[in-house]
Amino acid sequence: MEISFTVNDVLQTVNVEDENTPLLWVIRDILDLKGTKFGCGKAACGACTLHVDGEAVRSCSYAVKFVQDKTVTTIEGLGNRENPHPVQLAWVEEIVPQCGYCQPGFMMATAALLKKVPKPTDEDIDNNIINVCRCGTYYRMRKAIHKAAEIQAEKDTNESNMV
Amino acid sequence: MADNKSESKKVSRRKFLVRGGLGTIGVVAIGTYIFRNSIRREILGTVNSLDLPYTDNTDKPMIWFEVTSENNILLHSPKVEMGQGTFTGIAQMAADELSVSMSQIQVIHAASSTGNIDSFATGGSTSISGLWQPLRELAAMLREMLLKEASRKMNVGIDELTIEDGILSGNGKTMTYAQAAEGVENWKVPDTPVLKSLKEYKYIGKPIARVDLDAKVFGDPIFGMDAQMPDMLYGAVVRPTKIGAKFVSADIKPAENMPGVVKVIVEEDFVGVVANSMLEAEKAKDAIIVTWEGYEDLNTDAIFKIMTVGNGKSTIIQKHGDALDKQDGIETLEFRTPIGAHAQIEPNGVVASVEGDSAVIKISTQVIGLTRKEVASRLGLDVEKVNVIPTYLGGGFGRRLHTPHAVQAAVMSKAVGKPVKYFFSRKEEFQHDMFRPPTHHIIKGKLNAEGYLDGLEHQFVSGDVGNHSALIPDFLPPIIGADIGAIRGGFIQYTGIPNFRSVYWHVSLPFATSWWRSLGLLANTFAMESFMDEMALKANKNAVDFRLAQIGDDSIGVRLKNVIKAASEKANYSEDIANGRAMGFAASIDAGTPCAQVVEVSIVDNEIVVHKVTVSLDPGLAVNPDQIRAQCEGCVIMGMSAVLYEQMYVENGELQPTIYGPYQMALMKNAPKEIDVVLLQGKDTPGAVGEPPLGPIGAAIANAVRRLTGERLTELPLKLSKTM
């Protein structure tokens, strides 16, 4: 069946045999966006986190049929080297990644959190950022999440000043 | 930092290879015979000229550097990047000796076809320390060669030329490295040049940001799981769920006609399926009916019963003074640690392409040479015809020190005549890991009248770590003695004690146990440092003073004392309980690097909460202090995860659990809010970093809990027995 949805601002139509195919594999193997990672296949680690209509979703356990006409954002669409997202800027500033494999999932989860809670407390972070990182970068991630909130706030202020 | 000119004089001359005219990629490449790392030297020191799995190719020169036409430097790294930051450290070392900026250096994984293959593995916390001397020499050599050519071409004396950012200037003229190298046919290879002094280095010693930072923040496809080849198909291999099950036969009919299936492959030792997509391969795999044999109905109790001091073969690994023989006043404690999984987030995966008499393998591996040799051997190919292209690793931790899945993917590729991508499911990762072995420890000590130890004895048993691993062939352990991995951290570091000994017992389990970051260190230090704390309490002495008084005055002893003092001072170590928090202390030496930690712990809802960890580490010269801090933070959190939450168990002959969550690991909410790292420099060369900080954390937490609750926890994962 054909499913149409927007991925990183581009309208895509994919043809899948099985509408229950996890979105992760459509993103990775059909659309060739490898930034979204496979970790466990059971929504237990969060490496595959991306956004569907702005909400953080664990795409390894999210059937592609549910994204019909929706908007998907992956790490490649969150920001890029020319125009990085505040979360990516903060991640660079705090030198967060080690092996780096889980990091896109964490950054996507963080970006979704900041949309809902622009200035998260440590408790907000503990309750909402529940992905798994084996290298143990949580300590720097927490600092980066607070920093990303600051960068975002600054950006919002500047933008509202411009208006 | 000390001046290092004296050390460079000792260096033996290396034989260099230079290759010009590399077409569009580079203008000159330079290589040399590879260094030998310490583990390999240890082994080869005993048994030279034996057929080890990684000795081939050491007679061929290796490509290290290429100067590109854009005047950048490609550094082919024989070490893989798995998060430990090696790429950044070696880029700093190369940039400084080459007199180029960091942005001019691009570090890439050396494909095995460059000849630059690590002689053993990426592991053992040896990458930076092992490359420190040879890599800087190589870079300096290249700089001197380019200087000579530039001098000739510019007609300016060598002494009049200065170099900055890869541009040579003198007498009003300038020339880039690329221009200097262009068209040169006969390179003059100088003697190993004198290295720059540490004061002259712009990057070494500085907290430079990781060179792979952008790639990892913007989601670049750099991992083994992201690797692709044209016309690639997907493979899956049927794996048993029971421990010890061997493949006998398979009914493949149900799978053969399933959608997308290209071929079902039955080999002597496995059955695999190749399909057009991963999901189709997985579905077909589940439809294959396999007959297994040789499995037993094991459980955890049976495993622990085998894993008990007194079983297996013993080796005295350390002995000083007399044995503890008088029963009076001897204190005894027993400790146990569980089976641990690597649980790295990137599953093991590979893309293999076999065409005619050659193969290309893209893979996350810590053992490029071994991967290549095993593929070549199984397919009957010349090793030189197998090109292993390593990718970034989504975590290593020792899990990728053997890659039999590369062989399986290559077999499947050969069978279908197309590249095949194959990776483990998470369940397969958990059931077919090469686990951290469970251990059991009996520690005895006797205090003298002054309240210090008169005798101390550590008896411990562990499953295989190095023994029976692919890197240590079975003929080696009898020659080299005790399992070189299991005994890490098993030595008594309080060499001021008059009488001490450490005895290692070896038991092999019916499932694979092997290298897990820091090897025996995590378990051994948990046991030893918990015992020391109990002795300090028994002697009514401050835990830090008690330790300091019993450490020898040799150089490592002095360095250990210094990290102990630094950690306790920085953390304001106190044995008073304040605001419901207690402190715990522990220290260890691993691979020549001493580390001390102070933790602050409280109990919330009957759970152990770690609020703050102070780490003091003496890794010698710090090439990149920020990455050393990152390794300390990571070791603290990975170590906490292992000692507070993680354990595999065996039920009905199966290793369980098979998914994150049930295999509980530290999450953001569990990580300490404060990690304070103090770096000392007790020697003037770089030492081990990536594993030593894993040592103290287990005992430090247990010691804090003891002070808070009165309960001595002797088993990992640490669980409170009473409700607080």
d(CA B178, CA A1): 54
Q: Which of A62, A78, A94 is the last residue of a domain?
A: A78
pLDDT band at B687 (very low <50, low <70, confident <90, very high): very high
Spacing of C-alpha B136 from chain mean position = 22
Chain A interface includes B83 (CB < 8 A): yes
Number of domains, chain A: 2
Residue B423's closest chain A neighbor by CA?
A: A38
Res A111: pLDDT: 98
pLDDT at B513: 96
pLDDT in tens, B52-100: 444 444 445 577 888 888 899 999 998 999 999 999 999 999 999 999 9
* Alpha-carbon dihedral B429, B432, B435, B438, rounded to 10 degrees: 120
**A11 and A74 assigned to the same domain:** yes
Q: Is a pLDDT exceeding 50 seen at residue B43?
A: no
pLDDT in tens, A64-94: 999 999 999 999 999 999 999 999 999 999 9
User: What is the ipTM score, two decimals?
Assistant: 0.98
End position of a domain, from candidates A48, A78, A108: A78
Both A26 and A47 in one domain: the answer is yes
pLDDT value of position B698: 98
Same domain, A71 and A6: yes
Do A94 and A151 share a domain, yes or no? Answer: yes
**Nearest neighbour of B209 by CB, restricted to A95, A138, A142:** A95
Query: Three-class SS of residue B569?
Result: helix
Residues A69, A24 share a domain: yes
The CATH number of the domain holding residue A114 is 1.10.150.120
Lowest average pLDDT, out of B50-59, B77-86, B119-128, B155-164, goes to B50-59
Between A81, A92, A138, which is nearest B671 by CB? Answer: A138
A23 and A62 share one domain: yes
What domains are there in chain B, each with its CATH number? 5-217 (3.30.365.10), 224-294+348-423 (3.30.365.10), 302-340+434-709 (3.30.365.10)
- Other beta carbons less than 10 A from residue B326's beta carbon: 11
Could you read off the pLDDT of B321-369 as tens digits, one per residue?
A: 998 877 788 999 999 999 999 999 999 999 999 999 999 999 999 999 9
Q: Are residues A35 and A65 in the same domain?
A: yes
Chain A residues closer than 8 Å to B259 by CB? 17
* pLDDT single digits (tens) B171-198: 999 999 999 988 887 777 777 788 999 9
Q: Confidence band (pLDDT; 50, 70, 90) for B668?
A: very high
- Tell whether B226 is within 8 A of chain A (Cβ): yes
Query: Do residues A154 and A105 share a domain?
Result: yes
Which of A34, A49, A78 lies at the terminal end of a domain, its last residue?
A78
pLDDT at B151 over 90: yes
Say which CATH number the domain at A9 has.
3.10.20.30
For A99, the domain range is 86-162
Give the closest residue to B73 by CA, choosing from B178, B151, B147.
Answer: B178
Nearest residue in A to B673, CA atom: A139
Task: Check if B102 contacts A (Cβ < 8 Å).
Answer: no
Query: Given CB atoms, is B103 within the 8 Å cutoff of chain A?
Result: no
Q: Do A64 and A124 fall into the same domain?
A: no
Convert B638-671 into a string of H (helix), E (strand) and C (coil). Answer: HHHHHHHCCCEEEECCEEECCCECCECCCCHHHC
A133 and A155 both lie in a single domain: yes
Domain shared by A105 and A65, yes or no: no
**Nearest chain A Cα distance for residue B99, angstroms:** 25
pLDDT, average across residues B144-152: 93
Same domain for A64 and A98, yes or no, is: no
Nearest to B719 by CA among B650, B669, B646, B648: B646
Sequence-ordered strand ranges (E) for B313-357: 313-320, 330-337, 349-355
Please report the residues numbered 380 through 409 in chain B whose beta carbons come closer than 8 angstroms to any beta carbon of chain A. Answer: 392-397
Q: Would you state the torsion angle of the CA atoms of residues A4, A6, A11, A12, taken in this order, to the nearest 10 degrees?
A: -50
Q: Chain-centre distance of CA B632, in angstroms?
A: 14
- B675 CB near a chain A CB, below 8 Å? yes
Instruction: Answer whether B231 touches A (CB < 8 Å).
Output: no
What is the share, in percent, of chain B residues with pLDDT greater than 90?
79
* pLDDT surpasses 60 at B34: no
